[in-house]
């Protein structure tokens, strides 16, 4: 809004200045030029702040992606460790189940011969 008003005023002042060069029109143009310079300074400041914020957002996004990647790797490692632990537990369970069967087989085999002779 401010820029549009300044642009209209400047066009009118330029038209008047081209129609008639006098101290009053020159002073008006000088004043408008100062207002334009001030507006340009504010625009540059806002642009700089926005660029800095965008750069920070990109940095934050990069950090977030890195953190997300690390979290995914940690999750994969945890899942692998859980899988290995489960496999070890199953192996131990199978070994535990096989040992009593082997012991019973040994007992039956060794006492089976005696039992037949005794009975």
- Residue 5 pLDDT > 90, yes or no? yes
Widest distance between CA atoms in the chain: 142
Q: CA-to-CA distance for 3 and 11, rounded, in angstroms?
A: 12
H-only helix segments in the chain: 2-19, 23-118
Which residue bears the tokens 């334009």?
36
Residue 84 domain-assigned (yes or no):
yes
Q: How many domains, in total, are found in the chain?
A: 1
Kindly state whether residue 14 falls inside one of the protein's structural domains: yes
For residue 117, tell me if it sits in a domain. no
**pLDDT tens-digit series, residues 16-73:** 989 999 999 999 999 999 999 999 999 999 999 988 887 777 777 776 777 788 888 8
Kindly report the pTM of this predicted structure: 0.45
Q: Taking 70 as the threshold, does the pLDDT of residue 109 lie above it?
A: no
- What pLDDT does 84 receive? 92
Segments forming the whole domain that contains residue 24: 2-108
Residue 18 resides in a domain: yes
- How many Å apart are CA 15 and CA 21, to the nearest integer? 10
68 found inside a domain: yes
Quick: pLDDT tens for 87-108: 999 999 888 888 766 666 666 6
In a domain, 90, yes or no: yes
Say how far apart CA 32 and CA 28 lie, in whole Å: 6
Separation CA 60–CA 52 (nearest Å): 12
75 alpha carbon, distance to own chain's centre = 17
Residue 115 lies in a domain: no
Check whether 111 has a pLDDT greater than 60: no
* pLDDT computed for residue 31 by the predictor: 95
Q: Tell me whether residue 116 is in a domain.
A: no
């Amino acid at each position: 809004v401010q820029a549009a008003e300044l642009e209209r005023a400047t066009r009118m002042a330029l038209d008047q200045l081209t129609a008639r060069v006098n101290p009053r029109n020159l002073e008006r143009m000088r004043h408008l030029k100062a207002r334009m310079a001030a507006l340009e300074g504010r625009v540059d400041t806002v642009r700089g702040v926005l660029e800095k914020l965008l750069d920070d957002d990109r940095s934050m996004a990069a950090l977030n992606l890195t953190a997300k990647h690390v979290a995914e790797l940690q999750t994969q490692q945890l899942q692998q460790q859980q899988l290995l632990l489960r496999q070890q537990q199953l192996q131990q369970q199978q070994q535990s189940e096989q040992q009593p069967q082997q012991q019973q087989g040994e007992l039956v085999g060794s006492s089976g011969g005696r039992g037949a002779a005794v009975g």
